[in-house]
Amino acid sequence: MGFFLGGRDALIVVDMQRDFLPGGALAVAGGDWILPGINALMDHFRQREGRIILTQDWHPPGHLSFASSHPGKNPFAPVAGIEGIGPLLWPDHCVAGSAGADFSPQLETVGAHLVIRKGYHRAIDSYSTFVENDRLTPTGLAGYLKEVAAGRIFLCGLALDYCVYWSAVDGRKKGFEVVVIPDLCRGIGARSSAEALQAMNGLGILTARPEEIMA
Ligand code: VGL
Ligand code: ZN
């Protein structure tokens, strides 16, 4: 199936930052493997006049999603009862302005129209690139996409089970047609990634292979 890309399509490249890549503070296994494919896909969108949006996880020091902000807690420990935080605590990662928050030096960023940052409120995490984890605070991305008349969004990047997943769910809720490209995503957990794919399927979120989009 071909997708016939055009000016109403947007590619959202999620959190391809040093801290989420091998060697980083919250490294996602295989994250570096998807870089060439993501670069090729961005190039293809550029040729077809689609929009390209990059996202960055962008936390203040001492962010409440960091295990280090909770005495006695370890990274990846479950956390409950704090609105906007969880279900897991994380190692310190993507601190605004730090080297770990930079995009991978292998990511071709020149073609991007917009960079959207999220997670900058100390007490609220933001997995979705549309709405923060209090499920109320918008990032502004839906408004941007509506103003440029984007109707369909394609998602790739890290992590499939958190930021890609929640971005897909919220994109759908906001009325966009959503296509996730699993071959150009990697997840933090194997089980949570499988669950995310299944849940997305049930919500009418499409998946596609890079070859189908670049055909
Ligand atoms: C993410 C955990 C914490 C992600 C961000 O980009 O998926 N995951 N912060
Ligand atoms: Zn984060």
pLDDT(77) > 80: yes
2 within a domain of the structure (yes/no): no
Strand pairing class (114-118; 152-158): unpaired
1 within a domain of the structure (yes/no): no
| pLDDT tens-digit map of 113-147 | 999 999 999 999 999 999 999 988 999 999 999 99
- Letter string b/e over residues 66-103, b meaning 16 or more CB atoms within 10 A of that residue's CB: bbebeeeeeeeeebeeeebbbebbbbbbbbeebebbeb
4 within a domain of the structure (yes/no): no
Q: Tell me how far apart the alpha carbons of residues 76 and 186 are, in angstroms, rounded to a whole number.
A: 17
Q: Which amino acid is at 53?
A: I
134 is catalytic: no
Which residue range(s) make up the domain with 84? 9-213
Q: Give the three-state DSSP class for 143.
A: helix
Number of domains in the chain: 1
Q: Which two tokens stand for residue 107?
A: 């990511």
Residue nearest to atom 8 of ligand 1 (CA): 162
| pLDDT tens-digit map of 15-25 | 999 999 999 99
15 is catalytic: yes
Cα(63) to centroid(ligand 2), Å: 9
Q: Residue 212 in contact with residue 1, Cβ under 8 Å?
A: yes
| pLDDT tens-digit map of 163-189 | 999 999 999 999 999 999 999 999 999
Mean pLDDT for all residues in the chain? 96
Residue 59 sits in a domain of what CATH number?
Answer: 3.40.50.850
18 within a domain of the structure (yes/no): yes
Q: Which amino acid is at 134?
A: D
